[in-house]
Amino acid sequence: MHPVVELLTRPLRWLFQWLIALIVLFEEWGWEPLARWMAQLAQLPLIGWLERRVARLPPALALVVFLAPGLMLLPIKLAALALVSHGHVFTGISVIVLAKLLGTALVARIFQLTQPALMQLAWFARVHGWWIVWKETAVAQVRASRAWRIGRWIRRGVVRRVRGWRA
């Protein structure tokens, strides 16, 4: 690669990796609590019945069900970006955040239900293994960063103040 191109692409690659790592951290932070919240909905008879059906799906159908929420939310996220581009920044960002939370909750719960079937697909099991290694590496890099340590320090201070106000 030409030195000038390398000089220009290195910061972009770094920025992209950190952006992806932050998205992964959000997913990591929200995955379990949102999945637990969605699991509570299974107490409703219809939702419980649907979950039992999803858990028994064969691998190919489990993959379709697993991918469906992300595909269904894509038009909503694109519409939110259109809102932002037309000057409705707060509304657009709110829709994106809400879609991200809902999407993460659905995907997390559906993955819990379909994981045994999905792991029967050899290619999915390989990609999942690669993803876990990549994700753990990215999370470790972010958590080792100075920005992360400063953020944790600020968060601890805020938590102490909130507890002081409550007391």
Convert the pLDDT of each residue in 133-167 to its tens digit: 988 887 788 778 777 777 778 878 888 888 889 87
The secondary structure element, H or E, covering residue 86 is none
DSSP state of 55: H
Q: Where are the domains of the chain?
A: 3-166
Q: In terms of pLDDT, which residue wins out, 134 or 118?
A: 118
What's the pTM? 0.70
Euclidean distance between CA atoms 140 and 137, whole angstroms:
5
What is the three-class DSSP state of 58?
Answer: coil
Span 3-54, pLDDT tens digits: 776 777 777 777 777 777 667 666 666 777 777 888 888 888 998 999 999 9
Q: Which of 33-37, 94-98, 114-118, 157-161 has the highest mean pLDDT?
A: 114-118
- Confirm if 108 and 33 have CB atoms less than 8 A apart: no
